[in-house]
Structure 1
Amino acid sequence: MGLALVAGLALVTGCTAEPVPAPPRDRGVPAGGFRLVAFDSCPEALRQLKTAAKAYVGPWGFGPIEDMRTFGRAEQAEAPAAAGRADAAAKGYSGTNTHEAGADEPDLVKTDGKRIVTVSHGKLYVVDPATRRLTGELELAPGADGFDGAEDGLLLQGDRALVLRRDGWAGVAKPAVPGGGARAADAPMPDGILGPQLIMVDLSGEPKIIGEYRIDGNLVDARQVGTTVRVVVRSAPRLNFPYRERATDEQRTTANREIIDNATADDWLPRYEVTSGGRTSAGRVGCERVSRPAAYSGTSLVTVLSFDLGAATLGAGDPVTVIADGDTVYSNGPRLYVANDQRWRVLPMLTTRNIAPDPRDETTEIYQFDISGAGAPRYVAAASVPGWLINQYAMSEWDGHLRVATTSGRSWGDKPKSTSSVYVLRADGTALTQVGKVTGLGKGERIYAVRFVGGTGYVVTFRQTDPLYTVDLRDPGAPKVSGELKINGYSAYLHPAGEGRLLGVGQEASDRGRVQGTQLSLFDVADPAEPTRIAQYHVRQGHSEAEFDPHAFLYWPAERLVVVPLTVYDTRLPSNVALALRVGDGGFTEVGTVDHTQGTRRRGDLAPIRRSLVVDGVLWTVSDAGLKATSLSTMKTLGWLRTA
């Protein structure tokens, strides 16, 4: 794996090539020591890529752990969401629950108040919320069987929708694995592009596709600011490392290095296809668009694409590629941060051996980019902090400072030695310099949730009990823990709910840390020194998607309404509903539940509700079966639109 870098980079031109990088174990990017440079030529780029990759390759190629990192992380690490869009609330409809109001995030449903657009199983649907009618339907992948295991995302701007379709098994070089199956060692790498597909849809009439884009790799994330969308893709060299059953590890490694020696630039650099007006053109990211940090492994590349949803077509995306890796994207609008840690390589190995991680692997690298302009993102600064992030909510910029919450050390086994910290960084030239820190949070535990609200940070750690820490960050140079609340269970997502109030969604737990079902908590944080929980709503044997994907969480301030999808398991079949609660000064009042049982094909089929939104006093809930309109005042059904 390479250094962590993602989303949007501007090339630094005119720099000469540096010596070949050391093996990845020795690489490191101390704050202030990061430089992004271009290669002198394509042959020089290929030579250095090969040298770096050969230093990293082993008997199993780039390692089976690589697959765990790329595919095992998909749902857990993508917990993106938060305060919602202030402009949407003022207009009488709820937008996607996003981390920052200025940076929209892809989700499976979008609304602008005039229409509701959703994607499910390879189809796009358009709903008129005023008449509660399905006004448009579009098959995004003609000839496909509907569901390929990947979940689509959606962004909306005026009469344009951008659908982001994930495609699997393209993010890593194919490792050597014994046995057969779809990824057998002797199977050739596919010739066609396997990777995310972007589809531009015109919604001005009957929805129709007006542009498509496909590129090698896996979709990391995307952000939309105004009409500009930044799409981050991670890819790997298209190399096949066959399994040699009777060879020694040394022989396998030597053979794999020979495969790297015989590779060409076409094997390394991402390919893309653009379709517009019935014509398809193909291209490849040019060597002149590739940059590198001072040290890298050559096993992973990150490409940042920029698209204007106000343009007539998608175009080629103005790709910029970095020989790096990246997992977590955060943006507040004018700036974009990309972070990467090594947990997806390190943790699977360490947990099976019950050993502590090496401090050299416990590092998160963070890169700051200026995306205030319409062109390619401009690299500004970088930093390295100890520990691992839980998700994008572990980062937040406020008053020119970046706050980062991490966990370091082993948090599993009989004698965990983990601890969590909050670091405060500020850009100083090309470095994000640490100006303050708080350490020692939750010893023996790990972070389960983080939320920064203005000059205050809220950090939840958990192993058996749930300490909620309040961290005073108003003085960046002297941050401090101002309060702590210990209760059973934990919150996996925190959401501001007005002055002095904080909502938590997570799991109740016993005194020994055994989870007991979904709980919603209402915290009084008006006095940071004395945070208290003033109300709890517990659903035994319940689980909510909002616990790991805050896009599933809805808070509608006008009604002080909380809606979360809920699956409750009993001795028979699970029940699937959307639970609506009203938040009062003293606690929760149950408003009602919504289910989609009438939308299933057969009695007993499951139709879990995935999302909820409000448009003009109507609560809309979304599942793979369809959309239901429910009156907010009476909780009576107003309409049902089947999509399955």
Structure 2
Amino acid sequence: MRTRYPLYLLTLGCLSACSGDNNISQPEPQIMVPPSINEAKTFVGGLQQVGDSQAQRFLKNGIYIDSLNPVRLEMRGDTVASDSNGNFSTTNTHEAGVDEADRMEYDGEYLYVATYPIWTETNYQPPHIRVMQRQQDWSLKQVNQLKLDDTLGQVNGLYLYQDALAVISASYPIMTFARLSGPWYGEKAQVGISLYNTNIPAEAGLAEQLQIEGLLLDSRRIGQYLYVTTTHSLQMEGLNVGAEEDASKLQNYQKIQAADLTELMPKLTRNGQSQPLHRAEDCYIPELASSNDGYARLVNITRINLQSPDDVTSLCLTGQADNLYVSPQSLYLSGTAEQQTILHKVSLGDSFGYQASGTVDGQLGWQTTPYFRMSEKEGYLRIITSQGDESLEHKLTVMQQQGNALVSVATLPNSSSPEPIGKPGEEIYAVRFIGDRGYVVTFERMDPLYVLDLSNPLLPQTQGSLEIPGFSSYLHPLDNHYLLGIGQDVAIESLPGEGDSTTEMPVRQGAKISLFDINDPANPREIASLVKKQGYTPVEYNHRALSVLNQNSQYRFALPIEEWQSCAADACIEIWQPNNSLMLLDVNALPRQASLSLLTELKATGEQYYYGGEDRSVIHGDHIYYLHGNQLWMSQWQANAQILGPY
């Protein structure tokens, strides 16, 4: 970027001749004014690739803006099995055909388990991957241990595809850029993808080590392709960060303009050899950006072919991303700006590339897993957002791609279905789209379950609703129009009266599992329920903690439970109690025969306390494997069965 500055002419004259004084008074040096660059903002509209000079100007302007407003990142640490019609369960996913990273993978004979790091007074055991083989008597034997890069201490999840095991690691927790007004000046974050050849699991070794500079947003696998989404803030050393004086600002600006932007772009390192992930001109920038605009934060979507690791392609977008939703055909990035959700659509597979952008009023929120509020079907994106402070309003928007724009083609409520989604003050606790239907759970004093008819994407309708005490935080689809809800029971006496307001959350009684009949969508019914008093299940906020095996509409569910103590006679303080178990449920989803029953609970005896949110399980036929901490147990799918282990 070429910037013109005013030329100051200093006329000295012949002062000595006029006054006879040889001491010439020198004026104070003039300080040139730094350029006027607009504050960073989120643009509404599409993105485009431009020439190298325009791209560099936009990115360097962004670096300059960030040098004036340094902040620290706000961390959001996520730790991070689908219905299986075979004889063992796999990772429980949001979308069929879209795999998600999890702590444990199973191929029917071998279990791959990511371990916690362990510190003791005298020893440190770094995280690694245990390779466990199922024996003829269904016990487990460790046959291999896969080392991980010591610099990437947090395992975010595993993917298993044919003879390839991919381990996603990160030097920092998952983070977002939504709340940033400047960069984080600290150590460079790295995301690692370790690829192992598991053709012979007992001899599996590292085949390829990739590292992407940036922060991990999320990842998905579709077929042989692994998609890793990272965010990266362009940073320069040697700047006067937070400069207030014009001279310092100008010095920063000039250093940035003289810098080689190639050195600042995120790096891809393959087996120790580094190269830029992309060039500046590869990045998509806002179509509406002027020469005085800039943004220095990138969102990178990297596609890795697990069958041919040399095949790595990366897409670069400028902007912010809080979340991503992935269907078998598309990836949608979402960010929040001024009570709106900004969306960018990327096509996947062979046509991998940027497609379109759009906005919708409201936000996805954090009460439920945000990407569950989105669903793509037959080219239409259905998205539910919430708007307002004290009195939230919830809206379904149906969007369609038109050129490079995502355009709203329908909303709910609408003139033919004006009923609001939720009552005043109610927040959304769960959303699930299943084919042509949508299910929404809102809650403040009761649990309304709303059934939405989306068969006509241009005219969505509310078909019916059901009110019961408590709420569901996760909804799982079953065959024959049945639905399983997992959440919390609520004490009736603690509920506020109709029209009353309360600032206190009603008392939660324990984990609640409900079976809903939605065959008559205008009149949904709860036909069975179970309550685990004084407990909760991590499935409420992490669906991957749930294991599901479906065999001819006869379901088996396994879900971890963590309990807290009851109020003592002389005190009423809830204290977390190290009491973990795995609840086993039988669910019949045959037409007109639906039922829900508790089979048993498995307890990992002798194991020290570990947080139950990372507990996992695998159902294989009439057997169950239970992971708690770093150890595994085995039992049979029957009441009062002996639990064996640990392995």
Separation in 2, partners of 1:640, 1:244? 56
Equivalent residue number for residue 603 of structure 2: 595
State which of 41, 48, 69 in structure 2 corresponds to 1:37. Answer: 48
1:473-512 correspondence to structure 2 within 5 Å: 473-509=454-490, 510-512=494-496
Structure 1 residues 303, 436: CA separation in 2 closer, same or farther (over 3 Å shift)? same
Matched, 1:201 2:196: yes
- 1:270 maps to what in 2? 266
The answer to whether the 8 Å contact 2:401/2:407 transfers is yes
1:261 shift after superposition: 5.7
| Aligned positions of 1:493-642 closer than 5 A | 493-509=474-490, 510-512=494-496, 513-516=505-508, 517-558=510-551, 559-570=554-565, 573-584=577-588, 585=593, 587-600=595-608, 610-634=615-639, 636-637=641-642, 639-642=644-647
AA aligned opposite 1:461 = T
1:21 and 1:507 mapped to 2: Cα distance?
Answer: 51
Aligned to 1:324: 319
Cα distance change of structure 1 residues 605 and 407 upon mapping to structure 2, 3 Å threshold: closer
Report the CA distance between 1:406 and its aligned residue.
Answer: 0.9
From 385, 388, 408, the equivalent of 1:409 is: 388
The aligned residue for residue 221 of structure 2 is 224
1:455 to 432, 436, 447: 436
Secondary structure, counterpart of 1:319 in structure 2: strand
Choose 1 or 2 for highest CA Rg. 2
Residue 306 of structure 2 is aligned to residue 309 of structure 1: yes
Residue 50 of structure 1 and its aligned partner are, at CA, apart by 2.5
Percent identity over the alignment? 24
CA contact (8 A) 1:507 1:518 kept: yes
- 1:28 and 2:41 matched: no
Residues 104 and 74 (structure 1 numbering): CA distance in 2 closer, same or farther, change over 3 Å?
same
The alignment partner of 2:210 has SS state of strand
Instruction: Pick which of 265-274 and 197-206 moved more.
Output: 265-274
Q: For residues 551 and 248 of structure 1, do their structure 2 counterparts lie closer, same or farther at Cα, with a shift above 3 Å needed? A: same
Structure 1 Cα separation of the partners of residues 445 and 401 of structure 2: 38
Using the alignment, how far apart are the partners of 2:384 and 2:43 within structure 1? 23
In the superposition, relative to structure 1, how do residues 26 and 287 fare at CA in structure 2: closer, same or farther (>3 Å)?
Answer: closer
Q: CA deviation at 1:212?
A: 0.5
Pairing partner for 2:145 from 131, 138, 149? 138
What is the rounded CA distance, in whole Å, between the counterparts of 1:520 and 1:240 in structure 2?
Answer: 54
Q: Which amino acid aligns with 1:301?
A: L
- Deviation, structure 1 residue 555: 2.7
What is the CA distance between 1:471 and its match in structure 2?
1.0
Report the AA paired with residue 44 of structure 2.
G
Residue 49 of structure 1: SS of its match in structure 2?
Answer: helix
Distance in 1 separating the partners of 2:404 and 2:149: 47
Deviation per CA, 1:82-140: give whole Å up to 9, x if none: xx25xxx2321111111112111111111222322121232112222344333433343
In structure 1, distance between residues paired with 2:611 and 2:537: 15
TM-score in terms of structure 2 length: 0.77
Q: 1:26 to 1:334 in 2, by over 3 A?
A: closer
When residues 170 and 531 of structure 1 are mapped into structure 2, their CA distance, relative to the original with a 3 A threshold, is: closer
The equivalent residue for 2:101 is 106
The reply to whether residue 467 of structure 1 matches residue 448 of structure 2 is yes
Equivalent AA in structure 2 for residue 534 of structure 1: I
The 1:302/1:98 distance shift into structure 2, 3 A limit, reads: same
Q: Distance in 1 between matches of 2:170 and 2:157?
A: 8
Q: Which residue of 1 aligns with 2:333?
A: 338
Say which structure, 1 or 2, has more relative contact order (CA 8 Å, 6+ apart): 1
Structure 2 match to 1:378? 353
SS at the partner of 2:464?
strand
The answer as to whether partners of 1:98 and 1:105 remain within 8 angstroms in 2 is yes
Aligned length: 554
Instruction: Give the TM-score normalised by structure 1.
Output: 0.78
Q: Distance in 2 between matches of 1:281 and 1:241?
A: 23
Q: For 1:331-381, what per-residue CA distance to the aligned partner results, in whole angstroms no more than 9, with x for missing partners?
A: 221222222224xxxxxxxxxxxxxxxxxx1111223332132xx612333
Q: 1:136 to 1:324 in 2, by over 3 A?
A: farther
- What is the CA RMSD across the aligned residues, in angstroms? 3.4
State the SS of the aligned residue for 1:196. strand
CA apart distance, 1:466:
2.2
Distance 1:143 1:446, change over 3 A: closer
Offset of 1:586 from its aligned partner? 5.8
How far off is 1:316 after superposition?
7.0
CA gap of 1:545–1:399, structure 2 versus 1, over 3 A, is same
Aligned partners of 2:231, 2:259: CA distance in 1, in Å?
19
CA shift for structure 1 position 171: 6.3
CA–CA distance in 1 between the matches of 2:557 and 2:619? 11
Q: Secondary structure at the match of 1:235?
A: strand
Match of 1:123 among 128, 140, 143: 128
Q: Secondary structure at the match of 1:46?
A: helix
1:491–1:505 Cα contact (<8 Å) kept: yes
Higher mean alpha-carbon deviation, 614-623 vs 506-515, is at 506-515
After TM superposition, give the deviation of residue 284 of structure 1 in Å.
4.5
Shift of 1:421: 0.8
Deviation at 1:450, TM superposition (A): 0.6
The alpha carbon displacement at 1:143 in A equals 5.4
Q: How does 1:47-126 map to 2 (within 5 A)?
A: 47-55=57-65, 57=66, 60-61=69-70, 63-64=71-72, 67-68=73-74, 71-72=75-76, 74=78, 84-85=82-83, 89-121=84-116, 122-126=127-131
SS of 1:441's equivalent?
Answer: coil
The answer to whether the 8 A contact 2:174-2:218 is kept is no
